[in-house]
Every structure is written in C-alpha cells, then in structure tokens.
C-alpha cells in the first residue's frame, strides 16, 4: 500500500484525490493544501517545494502535481533529485505550457498544426504589424498568467489595445515581456488530453470546456465554467487524427529534441473545417475537464500514474470508460473572474443524490461548515445515460446547493447536443 500526495487546491485536485483514494493499492491520499472537500489536507503551499519534498519523504508518498505553476518551477526535477516518485513533466517539458512562444516555435519546427503567428517585444513594431493584416488576431502574453493572458480581438483597434495592455501597461507583469500575435481561428473548441511516459501516449476521454463567464460564450474568459465528457464533437475518426497529428507527434518531437514528456499532455484544439489546430498546450489535467473525465474512469488511475513515471505505459492494458456521459457545472461566486465575495456559508450538500458528486474548488471548512473561498467554488458533476440526462442530473443537483453569491452558466453541455 502506498500513500499519495496530491499537490493543489482546485476542483481538479479534489477529483484526482477522490479517484486515487478508490485504488486498492492506495493507503492514504494527502492533499496540499487542498480545499474544503478534500480529506487529509496538509497546510503546505504549492510553491513551497522544499516543504512538499520533506512531507513526501517523511510519509513515503507517491506525488501527483495538479497545477502548472510548480511544474514550471521544476518541482518534478527537484523531487527526482531526491529519488521521490512524482507524476508530471520536468521543467524542460513544462515549457510547452510555461512559454507560449517556446510552444509555438516547437509546433512550427515540428509541423504540428497551429495558427500562423509572429513574436514581438516592441510595441511599435507589433502595432504596425496588426495594422498590416487583413484578418483578426489573438494577442497572447508569453508566460503564465492564470489563464488570463490571452486576448481574442475583433478588430485592429482591439488588437492595438491588447498590445498596449500586455507590452506597455504590463498588466501580466514579466509574463508579458514578449507577445505572440496569431491568426484568430473561428471554429469549435474541444479539449484532448493524454497521459504519456515520454514514449507513448494513451488518450483520455474527450471533453469540452466552457471558457467564457456568461451563457452563449459571452463575456470574458475564465479558468472554465463547466465541462462534459465525452464530446460528440470529437468522433472516432477525428480522435485518431488528433492522436496521430498532435499528441503522438508532440511526444515524439519532444523526444527527438531530447526532452522526455511524462504526465498529462493537454491539447486545446480548435476545429475549423474538420481540421484540428492546436491553440495551446497544457502540461497537466484541465480544470474543470478533470472532473467529468475522472468520474467516467473505469480503471485504476494510480496504475497509469506509476506506468507514466516508470516508462511502462506501452505494456498497460487498454483503459476503459463508463459509457455514460458526465457533466460538470462550475458554481462560482458572482463577480468572478474579477473580484468576488468570500467566506459565505454554503448549504445543501447533504441533499445531493447518488448520481451526482460535488467537487470542491474555492472552499474551506470552518467550524463544521463549508465557506466560499475562491472564484470557482464547486464543480457539481453528474452522470447520465445520454448527454441530455447528464445535463439535467447536474442541474438538478446544482439547484440544491446555495449561498448568497452563487452563480453558474445555465447552458453547460448544450453545445454538444447540436452534434448528436
Ligand atoms: P489559450 O490559453 O491559449 O487556450 O487561450 C484561451 C482561449 O482563447 C482559448 O480557449 C480560445 O477560446 C481562445 N483562443 C486562443 N487562441 C486562439 C486562436 N488562435 N483563435 C481563436 N481563439 C483562440
Ligand atoms: N479548462 C482549461 C484549463 O484547464 O486550462
């Protein structure tokens, strides 16, 4: 039996802890720092790498890193130096997410389909460039900006203002020292996530996120307001195409460049005229995609984490999925993704029936009550025999949870219905 340390405090980490605790090989799952829903919380910050190493050593843990920031800081390399088992990519491999410029150049030299782009550090040159284009663009800060450093523009004026925001006003700090200006691709977005050991990659079930704060994809981008799995947008033929032209090609190209990619590889895909383009890579599970995906796993996730670390994924049995659909509706506090109230008492947890599960994100426990403690607060996730029934099961559970500033989109999963 093994102990697990899951690093992070979001809905994704609650889902990973929940799934790992079901493994017959796992003794105790610790979560650092965790949230109001995770058990065995350890009060160590995700960026306190020495503190996390110390805990993993003392408790003999296999460690799973949830979020991107410690991965970009090289947490995996540091655990490896201490001979500790840890699931996730090295600092070099994490560049696929930590530097969008590195990722774009990597895709370009390895012929991985992505939007055409140019790189700038000079605002004047960037302004002149967008004025010369006859198509809309997306302006992206190079570094990590908590999902906010991407500005999708509808006109040259918006592009000029985006350049100003990132390069002159430095709204995203040093993450915006350099920018990418890329062609805006209008199409349908989906998430394609695989687990790799650096040699092969096994696809997870497909999913679709809902990034904008309001219904019908209106308003600013967020970390994700809800997700469902599988998505009918990615049929078997398309899944095969993405697996070969994006996932396998990425893993092999990384290998050819001397970088072993272990961990979850997440390709944010835009489909235009049936062709997949990579909008971005993440080097971790998506949040909230992780919640519906883990809910459908009919296999022991721990075994696959071990195989990723040990480089033995190719000898693992094929993974199997619950045939049902899963829908996760994110409940946020009104005001997110900007400012929002905290410390409000949340009620209704004990009225949730068995076909739904409430993953916590921005919550904390206090005096036996659950309080809101973040922008994205809960991920109410339910299974259903059809996408339609999974949606109605999820929203039935959503109705039972309440706190003063509760907000959610009312159309999670609806986009998928059009493809059935
Ligand atoms: P990223 O963090 O790069 O995934 O960007 C955040 C969101 O911006 C994506 O989920 C898309 O909705 C949008 N986006 C990014 N790049 C493009 C693009 N080239 N064309 C259209 N939308 C994009
Ligand atoms: N849901 C998008 C992300 O995890 O980046």
pLDDT averaged per 10 residues in sequence order, the chain, 420 residues = 97 98 98 98 97 98 97 98 98 96 97 96 93 94 84 93 91 91 96 98 97 94 95 95 97 98 98 95 98 98 98 97 98 96 96 91 96 97 97 97 98 93
**Ligand 2 and 224: CB distance under 6 A:** yes
Residue 29's CB is within 10 A of a number of other CB atoms, namely 26
- Measured in Å, residue 1 CA sits from the centre of ligand 2 at 32
User: Which residues, in sequence order, are bridge partners of residue 280?
Assistant: 268
CATH topology for the 325-417 domain:
3.90.600
Separation of alpha carbons 96 and 261, rounded Å: 10
The pLDDT value recorded for residue 221 is: 87
CATH 3.30.1490.20 segments of the chain: 122-177
Pick the CATH number of 2-87 from 3.40.50.150, 3.40.50.20, 1.20.1250.20, 3.10.20.10: 3.40.50.20
- The CATH homologous superfamily for domain 122-177 is ATP-grasp fold, A domain (3.30.1490.20)
**Ligand 1 and 115: CB distance under 6 A:** yes
**Ligand 1 and 185: CB distance under 6 A:** yes
Q: Does domain 188-315 sit in CATH 3.30.470.20? A: yes
- Measured in Å, residue 207 CA sits from the centre of ligand 2 at 11
128 Cβ contact partners less than 8 Å away, ≥ 6 residues apart: none
User: Which residues, in sequence order, are bridge partners of residue 364?
Assistant: 371
Separation of alpha carbons 215 and 230, rounded Å: 21
Separation of alpha carbons 352 and 231, rounded Å: 25
Choosing from 145, 269, 282 the residue with most ligand 2 atoms within 8 A of its CB, the one to mutate for a pocket test is 282
User: Which candidate, 244, 214, 241, places its Cα nearest to that of 226?
Assistant: 214
- Strand 2-8 to strand 61-65: parallel, antiparallel, or no bridges (unpaired)? parallel
The pLDDT value recorded for residue 65 is: 98
DSSP count for the chain of H helices, then E strands: 14, 23
Structure tokens at 318: 């094929």
- Measured in Å, residue 79 CA sits from the centre of ligand 2 at 25
- Measured in Å, residue 187 CA sits from the centre of ligand 1 at 11
The pLDDT value recorded for residue 419 is: 87
- Measured in Å, residue 223 CA sits from the centre of ligand 2 at 6
Separation of alpha carbons 383 and 398, rounded Å: 13
Percent composition of the chain: helix, strand, coil (DSSP 3-state, to 5): 30, 30, 35
**Ligand 2 and 197: CB distance under 6 A:** no
Which ligand is closest in space to the CA of residue 226?
Answer: 2
**Ligand 2 and 282: CB distance under 6 A:** yes
Separation of alpha carbons 232 and 216, rounded Å: 18
CATH 3.90.600.10 segments of the chain: 325-417
- Measured in Å, residue 286 CA sits from the centre of ligand 2 at 4
**Ligand 1 and 268: CB distance under 6 A:** yes
In the 8-state DSSP scheme, what is residue 321? B
Choosing from 212, 284, 288 the residue with most ligand 2 atoms within 8 A of its CB, the one to mutate for a pocket test is 288
């Amino acid at each position: 039996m093994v102990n697990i340390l899951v690093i992070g405090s979001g809905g994704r980490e609650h889902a990973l802890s929940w799934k790992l605790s079901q493994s017959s090989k796992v003794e105790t799952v610790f979560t650092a720092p965790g949230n109001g829903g995770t058990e065995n919380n350890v009060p160590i910050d995700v960026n306190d790498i020495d503190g996390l190493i110390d805990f993993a050593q003392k408790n003999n843990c296999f460690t799973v890193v949830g979020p991107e920031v410690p991965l970009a800081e090289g947490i995996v390399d540091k655990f490896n130096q201490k001979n500790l088992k840890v699931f996730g990519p090295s600092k070099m491999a994490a560049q696929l997410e930590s530097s969008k410029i590195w990722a774009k150049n990597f895709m370009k030299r390895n012929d991985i389909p992505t939007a055409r782009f140019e790189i700038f550090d000079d605002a004047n040159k960037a302004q002149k460039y967008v004025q010369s284009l006859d198509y809309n663009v997306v302006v992206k800060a190079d570094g990590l900006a908590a999902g906010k450093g991407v500005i999708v523009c509808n006109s040259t004026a918006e592009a000029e203002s985006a350049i100003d925001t990132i390069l002159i006003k430095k709204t995203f700090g040093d993450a915006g020292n350099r920018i990418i200006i890329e062609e805006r691709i209008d199409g349908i977005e989906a998430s394609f996530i695989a687990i790799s050991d650096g040699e092969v990659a096994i696809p997870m079930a497909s999913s679709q996120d809902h990034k904008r704060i309001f219904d019908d994809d209106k308003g600013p981008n967020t970390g994700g307001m809800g997700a469902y799995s599988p998505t009918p947008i990615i049929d078997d033929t398309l899944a095969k195409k993405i697996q070969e032209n994006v996932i396998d090609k990425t893993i092999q190209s990384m290998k050819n460049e001397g970088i072993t990619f272990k961990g979850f590889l997440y390709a944010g895909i835009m489909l235009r005229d049936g062709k997949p383009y990579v909008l971005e890579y993440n080097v971790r599970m998506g949040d909230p995609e992780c919640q519906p995906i883990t809910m459908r796993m009919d296999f022991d996730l721990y075994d696959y984490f071990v195989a990723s670390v040990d480089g033995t994924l190719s000898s693992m049995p094929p993974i199997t999925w619950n045939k049902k659909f899963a829908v996760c509706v994110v409940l946020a506090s009104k005001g997110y993704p900007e400012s929002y109230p905290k410390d409000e008492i949340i009620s209704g947890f004990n009225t949730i029936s068995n076909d739904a599960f409430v993953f916590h994100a921005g919550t904390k426990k206090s005096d036996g009550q659950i309080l809101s403690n973040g922008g994205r607060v809960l991920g109410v996730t339910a299974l259903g025999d059809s996408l339609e029934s999974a949606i109605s099961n999820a929203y039935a559970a959503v109705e039972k949870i309440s706190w003063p500033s509760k907000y959610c989109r009312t159309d999670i999963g609806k986009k998928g219905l059009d493809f059935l």
